[in-house]
Amino acid sequence: MSVPGAVAGTSEVADLLQRLIRLDTTNPPGNETAAAELLRDYLEAAGVECALYARVPERANLVARIRGRGDGPSLALLSHTDVVLADPHEWERDPFGGELVDGEIWGRGALDMKGEVAASAVTLATLAREGWRGSGDLIFVASADEEVGVGFGLQWLVEEHPGAVRADFSVNEGAGDRVELGGKVLYLCSTAEKMSSPFCLRVHGRSGHASMPSIADNALVKAATLVARLGDFTMPPQLIPEVEGFLAALLGEVPPAGGALAAARGAAPLAAELIEPLLGMTVSPTKAHASDKRNVIPALCEITVDVRLLPGETPAGAEAVLRAYLGPGDYELVNLEAQGGTRSAVGGPLWDAVQSFVGEEEPGAVAAPICVAGFTDSHWLREAFGTVAYGFFPARALDSETAARLIHSANERVPVSDLELGTRFLRHAAQTVCA
């Protein structure tokens, strides 16, 4: 155990992260119960109420709670305890060693996301020791099975134990990067996620022997024209609220949609890179399959098209746009799946907490909303309870480019000073949202 009463859980968060990394929770198979039990023992020692929920014994989720004094807003600190595979041969240190080297803790999950797990647990433990209680509940959810997502983690909790995880507000992974754009410092807060809505383009022809091309109707050749056309696809730019908020933070004003990209580029090239995929649905043909035999002209060519939609757009709407764009032809468009695409409003108590924290930690810096391409467990809470869910775990010592290179990769590590920054933020969020 670390020293109770240390300043807002400083070295305590590092110590807890080291112990979490040393438990191998690679998913599959997960074995998250070991992490859930470690966190339960740590939190119960601080007087925090804990419960384990497990669909199968070895894959437990932990829910801990500091009950509120009344019926004020509840805040859930959301995280997952599973990690992706680590190949020790690619690493300079043991991925499950949790070593502290030059102020950084090394190991699988340091960034994604046992660091935030530890910071969330330390937030509840330190507040409990101080005798703090909010107006509403402060909840800590350390869920299993986020990286694979086959029904042992938050999705299962929301369906089977909704009372345990229902919350008005939540903080999760997803952003928190500090970016310097044209002399301005922004901390990105993910308030929305794009929807992944891939399609299969099935192009029809007539098969025949490849030695006599004129008697066949080559589906691959017909598909090539359509693929080339998809490669040129763009939408007229539109500004979603997240991009408006981002541009307002960056430029002090919101330019018209048609000039947004140029205005962002004028401030910093990286700003343009950040908003370009958020100005409309994007379309990228990525896979192709036609004949299996060199000498057979294919009657069918299947093209997989990666399509990402803005929050609020639907696969049916995207299909109509694509059909109108490609025009009539001998093809079908089949939607393959629809995942993500949820958003929470920018503004309100949790937004104010993010903004005030950033301003206090780094005078002159501001928080800016962003819509991210991937999706996190936040969408389960948004869909089930209408939770205002943000992805925000601030990082200052580690720049976002390095972090992006280390996540799900070799030599993942986190500076202790960022763990402490994140812990300060979570304490601030609890104390202001649940005040």
Q: How far is the CB of 77 from Zn ion (least distance, A)?
A: 14
* x-marked contacts with Zn ion along 170-189 as a string, rule CB under 5 A: ---x----------------
Q: How far is the CB of 83 from Zn ion (least distance, A)?
A: 8
Q: How far is the CB of 161 from Zn ion (least distance, A)?
A: 21
Stretch that binds Zn ion, among 94-102, 167-175, 252-260, 398-406 (CB under 5 A): 167-175
Q: How far is the CB of 392 from Zn ion (least distance, A)?
A: 14
Cα(107)–Cα(98) distance, integer angstroms: 5
Q: How far is the CB of 129 from Zn ion (least distance, A)?
A: 28
CA distances 186 to 144, 189, 279, 378, Å, are 32, 9, 20, 22
If the CB atoms of residues 109 and 369 are measured against Zn ion, the closer one turns out to be 109
Q: How far is the CB of 226 from Zn ion (least distance, A)?
A: 36
Q: How far is the CB of 407 from Zn ion (least distance, A)?
A: 8
Q: How far is the CB of 141 from Zn ion (least distance, A)?
A: 13
Type of residue found at 52: L
Sheet holding 413-415, edge to edge: 100-101, 104-106, 413-415
Rounded to 5°, angle at Cα 83 from 78 and 89 = 155
Question: Is the preceding peptide bond at 298 cis, omega within 30 degrees of 0?
Answer: no
If the CB atoms of residues 78 and 230 are measured against Zn ion, the closer one turns out to be 78
If the CB atoms of residues 78 and 354 are measured against Zn ion, the closer one turns out to be 78
Taking CB under 5 A as the rule, does residue 377 contact Zn ion?
Answer: no
Cα(65)–Cα(74) distance, integer angstroms: 10
If the CB atoms of residues 104 and 173 are measured against Zn ion, the closer one turns out to be 173
Type of residue found at 75: L
Q: How far is the CB of 403 from Zn ion (least distance, A)?
A: 12
- Among positions 302-361, residues that touch Zn ion (CB under 5 A) are none
Q: How far is the CB of 174 from Zn ion (least distance, A)?
A: 8
If the CB atoms of residues 36 and 321 are measured against Zn ion, the closer one turns out to be 36
Looking at the DSSP bridge assignments, the partners of residue 296 are 209
Stretch that binds Zn ion, among 110-118, 130-138, 242-250, 366-374 (CB under 5 A): 110-118
Nearest to 95 by CA among 109, 112, 114, 82: 109
Stretch that binds Zn ion, among 43-51, 113-121, 310-318, 386-394 (CB under 5 A): 113-121
- Among positions 232-251, residues that touch Zn ion (CB under 5 A) are none
Cβ–Cβ under 8 Å, residues 148 and 155: no
- Calculate the dihedral angle through the C-alpha atoms of 38, 41, 45, 50, rounding to the nearest 10 degrees: 110
Q: How far is the CB of 311 from Zn ion (least distance, A)?
A: 20
**Tokens 């503004």 belong to residue:** 347
If the CB atoms of residues 113 and 154 are measured against Zn ion, the closer one turns out to be 113
Cα(423)–Cα(401) distance, integer angstroms: 22
If the CB atoms of residues 148 and 248 are measured against Zn ion, the closer one turns out to be 148
If the CB atoms of residues 137 and 145 are measured against Zn ion, the closer one turns out to be 145
Using CB under 5 A, pick the residue from 112, 412, 418, 420 that binds Zn ion: 112
If the CB atoms of residues 60 and 247 are measured against Zn ion, the closer one turns out to be 60
If the CB atoms of residues 316 and 404 are measured against Zn ion, the closer one turns out to be 404
Cβ-proximal residues to 215 (8 Å cutoff; 6+ apart), any chain? 208
Taking CB under 5 A as the rule, does residue 113 contact Zn ion?
Answer: yes
Cα(121)–Cα(139) distance, integer angstroms: 10
If the CB atoms of residues 155 and 218 are measured against Zn ion, the closer one turns out to be 155
- Among positions 261-300, residues that touch Zn ion (CB under 5 A) are none
Half-sphere exposure of 278 (CA within 13 A, CB side): 30
Size of the site for Zn ion (CB under 5 A): 3
Nearest to 179 by CA among 353, 355, 418, 395: 395
Cβ-proximal residues to 434 (8 Å cutoff; 6+ apart), any chain? 68, 72, 73, 74, 75, 134, 135, 136, 137, 138
Taking CB under 5 A as the rule, does residue 193 contact Zn ion?
Answer: no
CA-based torsion, 18, 22, 26, 30: positive or negative: negative
Residue 61: strand, helix, or coil:
strand
Binding site for Zn ion (CB under 5 A): 112-113, 173
